[in-house]
Amino acid sequence: MTRVAKWLVVAALALTLGLHWAVLQSAAWVGMAVKFSQDSSFGVALGKTFDGQHPCQLCKFVENGKKSAPKDEFSKVSLKLDGLCAPAAWTLTSPQISTDASPAPLFLTARFLAPPVPPPRAV
């Protein structure tokens, strides 16, 4: 596929998933934060941006667009797969630990061979 075709597929997928609303809303929030921070501190500006009491025109546009977007019909369909597999009875049990089994003792052995003299060279 060519580069343009790949970008068209990505754009179509993004529009299908509704990512354009998220991009527009993010742009609106950034613009609001910048606008409100010119008059007050950054913390107060962020509070005004996300409190929902001071929406901008772009926020209102996104809200109306989300409401008027067609609903996904597939999400309303409930798939029932009960007939395909029988319900299994699952029980949780704790692992059984034997009390007479003790771990093998760990013996550290000394190295019996001396290192090679002269040391090997890296090739």
Domain segments of the chain as ranges: 18-70
Distance CA 56, CA 35 (A): 10
Structure tokens given for 32:
């609001």
Distance CA 37, CA 45 (A): 5
Q: What is the mean pLDDT of each run of 10 residues along the chain (123 residues)?
A: 90 88 92 92 91 90 84 58 62 74 61 74 77
* pLDDT (0 to 100) of residue 5: 92
* pLDDT (0 to 100) of residue 57: 92
* pLDDT (0 to 100) of residue 112: 74
CA distances, 44 to each of 2, 20, 26, 37 (Å):
47, 28, 18, 8
